[in-house]
């Protein structure tokens, strides 16, 4: 029987789980892959018991050295970060004729096109199913299952940490800071959470999906991103009163700037019901119409599942272009405008004075923004109150200009929040 030798660089939560399954479930994987999968080398910051036997497995203090070994067929990169050792290892492994499997979405988002070219030039495979949405086969579905489709729209809840925080805020009425602290205590959020809550992690994943969906060179820098730090329990409450929930959505369409931002979506939609740390990815295209896939987007088991699926594909001899097409045929992104979100939710704090409402609506009118509905909460002498509007369909540029004008008014206290209301998701 064919044998495939594997090295893992990075034995954190995911790397340790991949190694344990390779060692402890070898017979089942052999039947699945049609080949014997041998873990022959690992690299990590320190040697310690990780739940599998190191018998017959060599330990490399220098992860980069794995690229030069003749007894390795597949290098699994689970180090993280877009530069440094991870990039050097993947680049050199491909050049030396080794296949590469990675869960590193930052690496793929920043260097995916270069690595795809390198893989093709050296007749090797670059696989990164685990880089997007964990256990959901979002890339395989898009790249292979939907390969005959003209993809109109990609929409996703791509960060489990943000989805957990927003779900808890919705269900309990607690503040962002309170729920974030709980998420950190439970291990859903890092001690320094910017990568998640500021939308960077989701933007990496969206850039990958957009490149595959539209046959384009990956362009992370084109993704417009906003996180959830400014979403308050007050916004969650207003959204509920209006029949919506707030979700951090990544959205990509042909000829449009990909965006990651908090949005209002109707409570009765499928995406609105994706709660907790789950991820979801929806594709709309022709002739398939629409597909929604959901599941755990992070963690040892789901991510290891995706890594092992890539290893099994390689062992079976399955061949696929990393971005669905030969790298030389990938187009420069023809981006013309942001996705037109249509209607908007606007929330501001204003002094409760006579004439304020008239001034606000006049400024909105002067920027060609038509008000659909208005809500006001709180009333106290000389204390600011929350004022919320939903608008009819309008251009993002008009909303931005109106917010800038309103921010200059003396009766406005604090920042103005503008969120798109997403239709038909």
- So which residues are the catalytic ones? 205
Q: Is the dihedral of CA 265, 267, 271, 276 positive or negative?
A: positive
Q: Report d(CA 321, CA 15) in Å as an integer.
A: 24
Q: CA dist 75 to 15, 89, 137, Å?
A: 12, 8, 21
Cα–Cα distance between 291 and 154 in angstroms, integer? Answer: 10
Give dist(CA 290, CA 158) in Å, integer. Answer: 18
d(C-alpha 360, C-alpha 405), whole Å: 10
CA-CA distance, 34 to 127, in Å (whole number)?
19
What is the rounded distance in angstroms from the CA atom of residue 55 to the CA atom of residue 30?
19
The residues near 314 (Cβ < 8 Å, ≥ 6 apart) are 4, 73, 74, 99, 101, 125, 127
Instruction: Sort 62 into a burial class: Cβ within 10 Å, 0-12 / 13-18 / 19+.
Output: exposed
Residue 342: which region, alpha, beta or left (left: phi > 0; alpha: psi -120 to 50)?
left
CB 184 within 8 A of CB 322: no
Beta bridge partners of 263: 247
With contact defined as beta carbons under 8 Å apart, do 72 and 8 qualify? no
Cα distance between residue 330 and residue 137, in whole Å: 22
Q: Using an 8 Å Cβ cutoff, are 297 and 136 in contact? A: yes
């Amino acid at each position: 029987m064919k044998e495939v030798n594997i090295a893992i660089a990075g034995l954190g939560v995911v790397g340790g789980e991949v190694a344990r399954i390779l060692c402890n479930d070898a017979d089942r994987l052999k039947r699945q892959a049609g080949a014997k999968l041998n873990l022959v080398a690992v690299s990590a910051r320190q040697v310690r018991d990780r739940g599998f036997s190191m018998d017959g497995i060599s330990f490399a203090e220098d992860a980069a050295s794995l690229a030069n070994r003749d007894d390795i067929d597949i290098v699994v990169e689970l180090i993280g970060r877009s530069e440094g050792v991870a990039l050097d290892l993947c680049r050199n492994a491909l050049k030396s004729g080794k296949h590469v499997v990675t869960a590193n979405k930052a690496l793929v988002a920043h260097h995916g096109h270069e690595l795809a070219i390198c893989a093709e030039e050296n007749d090797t495979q670059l696989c990164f199913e685990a880089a997007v949405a964990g256990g959901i086969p979002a890339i395989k579905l898009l790249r292979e299952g939907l390969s005959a489709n003209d993809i109109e729209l990609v929409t996703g809840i791509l960060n489990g940490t943000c989805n957990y925080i927003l779900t808890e805020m919705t269900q309990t009425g607690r503040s962002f800071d309170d729920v974030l602290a709980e998420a950190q205590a439970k291990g859903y959020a890092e001690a320094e959470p910017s990568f998640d809550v500021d939308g960077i992690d989701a933007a990496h994943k969206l850039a990958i999906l957009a490149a595959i969906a539209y046959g384009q060179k990956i362009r992370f820098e084109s993704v417009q991103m906003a996180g959830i730090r400014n979403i308050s329990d007050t916004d969650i409450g207003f959204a509920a009163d209006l029949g919506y929930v707030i979700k951090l959505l990544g959205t990509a369409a042909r000829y449009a700037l990909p965006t990651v931002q908090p949005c209002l979506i109707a409570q009765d939609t499928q995406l609105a019901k994706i709660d907790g740390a789950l991820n979801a990815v929806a594709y709309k295209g022709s002739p398939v119409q629409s597909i929604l896939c959901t599941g755990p987007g992070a963690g040892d088991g789901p991510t290891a599942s995706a890594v092992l699926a890539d290893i099994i594909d390689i062992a079976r001899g399955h061949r696929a272009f990393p971005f669905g097409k030969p790298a030389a045929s990938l187009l420069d992104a023809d981006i013309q405008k942001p996705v037109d979100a249509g209607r908007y939710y606007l929330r501001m704090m204003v002094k409760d004075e006579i004439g304020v409402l008239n001034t606000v609506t006049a400024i909105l009118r002067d920027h060609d923004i038509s008000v659909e509905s208005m809500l006001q909460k709180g009333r106290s002498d000389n204390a600011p109150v929350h004022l919320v509007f939903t608008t009819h369909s309008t251009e993002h540029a008009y909303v931005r200009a109106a917010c800038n004008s309103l921010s200059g008014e003396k009766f406005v206290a604090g920042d103005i929040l503008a969120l798109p209301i997403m239709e038909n998701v």
